């Protein structure tokens, strides 16, 4: 997802050559059109660069206005792409927007996803669900994520530690809770940024609502090690939980280049004593 602009500009192979040069040896494919050309370049990166295609992204239905294959319409193609790229993990990156309207719709989504998870298992492929913060809303005392898990026993979890924190829970305890079904963990930090200078100009002009909006927006995504999350505890917990991949991700960069951000996360992980992850 972080590299989609580079994929458009440089192509898949040259983008992943730069990723490899930083030191990363696995990527998750998200928000990238799985065209014949892109799949071929990903396959080339796998064979020539040794880049591991950790997981491919899928949706239940065609996402409006975004690239992606759907399990409903492209099941055979998804399986073929995964086998060609030796990707044994698929992941659903977000609860479908229509499913957010009610807990009943969430349960319908989970049950349908579970059916596809069972079909994928027949091909040696596992399906996982990636959380944001909305899944930690409570219904009759239960978190939505628990309700999804209960109604999709064949689907695993991809735990995103930033979104867990933003949802008000502890990342380590959440990883431990889903240890028996978590194959991937997203590493991105949770930073409280500085109030922008423009916000104080809003105060001077009486735009208190504008100032408060900036106040709310100080919560930021951050490079690993540049925020407040306890990665020295998170990473061992993820490893103990059996996670196969720890994937660096950053939804927004706040003016930095993607290459600078990836380098910072890499260097900070090495400085923490985790050079063995690369």
* pLDDT score for 69: 86
Q: Are 33 and 63 in contact (CB under 8 A)?
A: no
DSSP-derived 3-state class of residue 118: helix
Please state, in angstroms and rounded to a whole number, the distance separating the CA atoms of residues 200 and 196. 8
* pLDDT score for 109: 98
DSSP-derived 3-state class of residue 248: strand
Q: Are 28 and 184 in contact (CB under 8 A)?
A: yes
Q: Are 78 and 71 in contact (CB under 8 A)?
A: yes
- Give backbone dihedrals phi and psi of 49, rounded to 5 degrees, phi first: -105, -10
- Which residue ranges of the chain lie beneath pLDDT 50? none
Pair of tokens at residue 11 = 């192509």
* pLDDT score for 67: 64
Q: What is the pLDDT of residues 151-190, one digit of tens each?
A: 999 999 999 999 999 999 999 999 999 998 999 999 999 9
**How much is the pTM?**
0.95
Pair of tokens at residue 52 = 């591991």
* pLDDT score for 62: 81
Q: Tell the residue number behind the tokens 């944001």, with chain if given.
A: 132
Please state, in angstroms and rounded to a whole number, the distance separating the CA atoms of residues 201 and 133. 31
Q: What is the DSSP string of 23-86?
A: T--EEEE-S----HHHHHHHHHHHHHS--EEEEEEEBSSPPTTS---BHHHHHHHHHHHHHHTT
């Amino acid at each position: 997802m972080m590299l989609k602009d580079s994929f458009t500009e440089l192509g898949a192979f040259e983008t992943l050559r730069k990723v490899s040069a930083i030191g990363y040896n696995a990527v998750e494919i998200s928000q990238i059109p799985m065209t014949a050309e892109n799949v071929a370049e990903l396959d080339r990166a796998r064979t020539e660069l040794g880049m591991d295609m950790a997981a491919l992204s899928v949706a239940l239905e065609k996402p409006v206005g975004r690239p992606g294959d759907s399990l409903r319409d492209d099941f055979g193609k998804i399986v073929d792409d995964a086998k060609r790229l030796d990707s044994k993990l698929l992941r659903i990156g977000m609860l479908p927007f229509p499913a957010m309207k009610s807990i009943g719709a969430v349960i319908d989504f989970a049950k349908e996803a579970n059916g596809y998870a069972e079909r994928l298992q027949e091909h040696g492929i596992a399906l996982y669900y990636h959380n944001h913060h909305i899944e930690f809303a409570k219904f009759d005392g239960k978190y939505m994520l628990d309700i999804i898990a209960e109604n999709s026993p064949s689907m695993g979890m991809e735990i995103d530690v930033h979104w867990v924190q933003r949802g008000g829970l502890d990342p380590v305890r959440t990883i431990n809770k889903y240890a028996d079904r978590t194959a991937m963990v997203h590493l991105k930090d949770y930073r409280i940024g500085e109030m922008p200078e423009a916000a104080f100009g809003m105060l001077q002009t009486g735009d208190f609502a504008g100032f408060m909006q900036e106040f709310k927006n100080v919560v930021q995504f951050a490079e690993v090690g540049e925020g407040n999350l306890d990665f020295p505890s998170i990473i061992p917990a993820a490893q103990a939980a059996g996670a196969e991949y720890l994937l660096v991700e950053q939804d927004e960069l706040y003016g930095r280049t993607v290459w600078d951000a990836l380098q910072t996360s890499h260097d900070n992980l090495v400085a923490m004593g985790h050079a063995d992850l690369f």
